[in-house]
Amino acid sequence: MSSRFKAPSAEELARRGIGVKKVRARNEDGTLKADDPSTPDVNEAWDSKIVSAVKNVTKKAANKTRS
């Protein structure tokens, strides 16, 4: 059974202000993972992380919202 929902495309994510960033994969103890040479089509040393666009907030604007 296939899902009727598709993953959003890169253009759709960019329009929403969401991006994908490649970061080094880590083990449970926090050390970096190595790539497994027996799987040439998969790179286990890198993961994709979804990042959202954070708007820069100036100090004045931050102080106004606190009052």
Tokens of 66: 């606190």
Q: Looking at residue 19, what is its pLDDT?
A: 76
pLDDT, one tens digit per residue, over 11-48 is: 887 787 777 788 899 999 999 999 889 988 888 888 88
Question: Tokens at residue 2, please?
Answer: 């296939």
Domain residue limits, the chain: 23-53
Helix (H, G, I), strand (E, B) or coil at 23: strand
Residue 51 is inside which H or E element, if any?
strand 46-52
Its pTM stands at 0.46
Q: Is the pLDDT of residue 62 over 80?
A: no
What is d(CA 63, CA 43) in angstroms, rounded to the nearest whole number? 45
